[in-house]
Structure 1
Amino acid sequence: MTAGILSRRGAAPDEGFVQFLFVEHRGALLAYAQELTRDRMAAEDVVQEAFLRAWRHERKLSTGTGSLRGWLLKVVRNIVFDAARARRARPQEVAEPPLDLTTAPDHADLVVNTMVLADALGSLSVEYREVLERMYLHGYSVAETARALGIPSGTVKSRSHYALRTLRDLHAAGERREREGLAGRGGENSDPTGQR
């Protein structure tokens, strides 16, 4: 088969030539490439490139001068060395750091939240407000709050529960009024002239 393939000097490159090279030389080329690259996948890529170059130079290789395996091993070595030179010539790629899309807290939000909280706490009775202030603003435990106010722990729990429920109800009522206010004005689809 070798004589038949290598004797067709004037013919265009075909699969038969590459198949012959693959069967005869793949093992030696892959072992050599893997020794140079220390990476099986990179070695396979190098061998594939060597076979592609052999296919492109079939006419030159078909003349029968020189060792075909020697030529292929030299091509493998050149491919590996060229890749190494290219890596050294280029600066190392560094991943771009992720963008920090967090925004600084707005002082206006803090002021508005403080005003809303102060209004909400102002709507509670003094007993409820004292319990919430000690537990949530000062970080007291139930027992510490009870000692500071001179009341039983059960009373602290009860006042805390009812105070929080009152605040939730006030918040829900405020949201409901806000939605109704938007709906009463006709929302976005209303006619600015007031005509329907």
Structure 2
Amino acid sequence: MTDQADVDRALDAAERLFNARGVQGVGMDAIRDASGVPLKRLYREFPSKADLLHAVLEKRDLDVRSAITGFVDANAASGSPRDRVLAVFDYLAGWFAEPDFRGCMFLNTAGELGGTSQDVLTVGRRHKLALRDYLSELVDAAELPEALADQLLVLANGAMATAALNGTPEAAGQARAAAAVLIDAAVR
């Protein structure tokens, strides 16, 4: 087993556990048990749980951004720029329907630890700004007003929170419908 394989297993296990139980509800022993990576090895790679959380959030950021852009490219590639914007909400609908969906890890972690961890807030803000920048690219390609990107981000984040609290994926469709209204109003 390579060092990188151990790191990957630890990050995957920590992400699953943090997502399911929250950060404070998961100890390093649980991550060791779920990953099969010895505790000594975990602490060699991640001297503290905060270091592990930072690495999990960084990995999650890259994974989510890649998943969204990949979905939009694959599912709206031949569509209009408007369709590409709306495809973001189609991605959310699929994500919200996954059995392990518990909401946005960045929003959840910021809610749990944001008052005590500037690092969590920094990584979460960076992730949300990157999503906003992606929405801005889509809005620009559709020749829509720049302010629409911020409005779409509010819709997406609101849908994430609503879907997590309600335990159903319907919020994605509702947010998509609201996004379509905003786009149509901006075109007029």
The structure with the largest helix share of the pair is: 2
TM-score (norm: length of structure 2): 0.26
TM-score (norm: length of structure 1): 0.25
Q: Answer with 1 or 2: which has the greater Rg.
A: 1
Looking at both structures, which has the greater relative contact order when contacts are Cα pairs under 8 Å and sequence separation is at least 6?
A: 2
